Amino acid sequence: MLKPLNITIFLFSILLANSSHSNSMLVDGNVFYTVPETGGTDDFHTGKILGFNYNYYYKPWLALTAGIFFSEEIYDEIQTDIVGTFQASIETRGLTLGIRPEYHLSEKNKIYARLDIVSYKTKLIVDEYFEPGLPTGSSNDTASGNGYSLGLGWQHSFTKKISFQLELKNQKQLDLFDGKTNADRVFDFSYTGFSIGLGYAF
């Protein structure tokens, strides 16, 4: 399941081993505001995913990136059926590896793209509230797998060290619960939104 991530790590190792000199580096932290979607009848609220990235500039215009992310609990709308009501929520965390090509617009401004392979672990929680006389409860299950993330951003440098970042982003987590349920119940999670953050160069 982790083969794409292992291949990316291997390619990173080759690139770093062939780097003949030390280039600049950037550490950035960002808050990703997103509405998760499965393509079904879900209607999740806007949630926040916190991310941190390490960017190593293999070329002046190209950085190799590695990151971590973790979310708050993001809730779906409460739904009702003939038995009672229920509400789903999700929590997700994981690792990313990828590249960040950049284009300088001016001395202080640049645009960039971010292309990542994602390794995720996502928990799905369902809280159930039945009619009086029936027990209520909560159930959850966790899925691990791979996916990808695409981003397009703008970076403005306040100083040579500190910068601001604004990024449009989509992360896709593929085949949740594959092998743990029927094939027709396997689904993808898509996180689309924007992030804001700060970077520190050294």
What confidence score (pLDDT) does residue 97 get?
95
**Closest CA relative to residue 191, chosen from 1, 67, 33:** 33
The pLDDT confidence band at residue 17, using thresholds 50, 70 and 90, is low
What confidence score (pLDDT) does residue 126 get?
87
**Strand, coil or helix: 100:** strand
Residue 177 to residue 179: CA distance in whole angstroms? 6
51-102 residue pLDDT tens:
999 999 989 999 999 999 999 999 998 887 766 788 889 999 999 999 999 9
Helix (H), strand (E) at residue 39: none
Residue 14 to residue 163: CA distance in whole angstroms? 29
Between 96 and 178, name the one with better pLDDT: 96
pTM: 0.83
Sign of CA dihedral 130, 132, 133, 136: positive
In a domain, 174, yes or no: yes
pLDDT at residue 18 is higher than 80: no
The pLDDT confidence band at residue 23, using thresholds 50, 70 and 90, is low
What confidence score (pLDDT) does residue 21 get?
47
In a domain, 136, yes or no: no
The pLDDT confidence band at residue 20, using thresholds 50, 70 and 90, is very low
The pLDDT confidence band at residue 8, using thresholds 50, 70 and 90, is low
Please report, for the domain that includes residue 174, its CATH number.
2.40.160
What confidence score (pLDDT) does residue 156 get?
98
In a domain, 103, yes or no: yes
**Closest CA relative to residue 94, chosen from 172, 196, 193:** 172
The DSSP secondary structure of 123-151, one letter per residue, reads: EEEEEEEESTTS--EEEEEEEEEEEEEEE
134-143 residue pLDDT tens:
556 788 888 8
Q: Are 37 and 189 contacting, i.e. CB atoms less than 8 angstroms apart?
A: yes
What confidence score (pLDDT) does residue 134 get?
55
Token duo for residue 12:
């990173």
In a domain, 12, yes or no: yes
What confidence score (pLDDT) does residue 179 get?
61
In a domain, 128, yes or no: no
The percent of residues in the chain predicted with pLDDT above 90, rounded, is: 59
98-154 residue pLDDT tens:
999 999 999 999 999 999 999 999 998 988 876 665 556 788 888 899 999 999 999
In a domain, 176, yes or no: yes
In a domain, 186, yes or no: yes
Give the residue numbers spanning the domain of 112: 3-47+55-64+92-120+145-201
What confidence score (pLDDT) does residue 99 get?
96
Give the count of domains, the chain. Answer: 1
**Mean of per-residue pLDDT scores for the chain:** 85
In a domain, 175, yes or no: yes
* φ and ψ at residue 7, rounded to 5 degrees: -65, -40
Residue 142 to residue 178: CA distance in whole angstroms? 11
- Report how far apart, in Å, the C-alpha atoms of 24 and of each of 62, 150, 188 are: 11, 23, 36
